[in-house]
Amino acid sequence: MRSLADCRVLDLGIITAGAATSAILADLGADVIKIESPSYKDPFRRWSGQTFPGEHPDMPPFFRMTNRRKWNAAIDLKTPKGREVFLHLVSKSDVVVENFSRGVLARLNLTYATMREANPHIILASISSQGENGPDERYVSFGSTLEAMAGLAALTGYRDGPPEISGVDYNYPDQVVAVFVASMIATAWYARQNGAGGAHLDLSQRELTSFLAGETFLSERLLERVGNAQAHAVHQDCYRSFDGVWLAITVLEQDLPALRKMTGGDDEANVQTWIATTESSVVLKRFQDAGIAAGPALNGPGVLSQREDGWSRALGLATDGDVVKGVLFGDLTHALTLPRPTPHFAADTQDILMRIGGYSVEDIRALAAEGAIALNETKSGSMP
């Protein structure tokens, strides 16, 4: 599926939100060029020291997951020449994705107005924690604080316990925003193809998180933290089976006759005791045969072991064999293609500037000598 095959994206995204957005666009066929600065690489390249033994220090799993299928150019936007090079690429591109702190693009003199001078039809997608304007726009935020301010953390946890956040290694608002922004960009791009012109797209991660949880804010009953329980379910919790496997169970009122037949009773103690004295495979089969929702609470290795059985698209292999994020959507009439490996820093700077920007080798050497760009002999591939 190559629905964005004629779309060129300049990716200024860092960490998850911006980079994951452009990765989805690449999956849809867009030609995505990740722009990193020689003085400020994507922090995911050094995220929590997660690189495995024997791997390149710039290529930890967190970075590989959100940057496969892209090209990489190193341009220092803080230098006049680097800014000039970037705006020249803007004139040859369709979309710019960014998730810097608010105010960064303005300080670089790379606002939407400036980009429109280079390309009147450019689409700028701005992803931020609090949105483009408002009293909180300059707040420093992580997924944890966004979950708190958006109301999600207050919904998560056990009765009389504290609010719960997903943590920096997951960060729900960062993960989910990418799907929405990629959809917005694709819509804006198709509209532009039909004469709508460029656009400046604004998406607040805080507002999106509140939007997704919003219906719960309308009822005091729904706002009460109750752990795994839920008002409409007679039983809903995680129970440990005889062989030590945690199982998630949801039993509704209409399921009680089948539950009593299975376990000999329908109270919480009876359910817990029966599961604790029964092998997990037996519990799952009995519940599923009875039409009652049940499933194992899999950890990471458990999820990975279900590949090609319980799932097939969530993760995949790049052409170099690295495990990376897969493609969640597919065209059943065409086989999914393996993504190109995640690019090393500056791997494609020269190729991009020559092929897209029209710069000569001499121009590129001069730009590198001035510090406006960086070159790297480690190649991720040649431009198509």
Domains of the chain: 8-214+313-374 (3.40.50.10540), 246-296 (no CATH)
- Phi and psi, residue 236, nearest 5°: -150, 110
CB 94 within 8 A of CB 8: yes
How much is the pLDDT for 159? 84
| 33-42 core/surface letters (b: 16 or more CB in 10 A; e: else) | bbbbbbeebb
| 267-296 core/surface letters (b: 16 or more CB in 10 A; e: else) | eeeebbebbeebebeebbebbeeeebebeb
How much is the pLDDT for 49? 56
Rounded CA gap, 252 and 294, in Å? 12
Rounded CA gap, 310 and 304, in Å? 9
CB 46 within 8 A of CB 23: no
How much is the pLDDT for 23? 93
- Phi and psi, residue 371, nearest 5°: 85, 10
Could you list the pLDDT tens digit for every one of the 384 residues in the chain?
568 989 999 999 999 999 999 999 998 999 999 999 998 999 988 875 566 666 777 888 889 889 999 999 999 999 999 999 999 999 999 999 999 988 999 999 999 999 999 999 999 999 998 887 777 777 777 778 888 888 888 888 888 889 888 877 678 888 889 999 999 999 999 999 999 999 999 999 999 999 998 888 887 666 678 888 887 899 999 999 999 999 999 999 999 999 999 998 889 999 999 999 999 999 999 999 999 999 999 988 888 888 888 888 888 878 887 788 877 776 656 666 778 889 999 999 999 999 999 999 999 999 999 999 999 855 544 333
How much is the pLDDT for 335? 61
Within 8 A by CB and 6+ apart from 329, the residues are 1, 27, 313
How much is the pLDDT for 384? 36
How much is the pLDDT for 334? 63
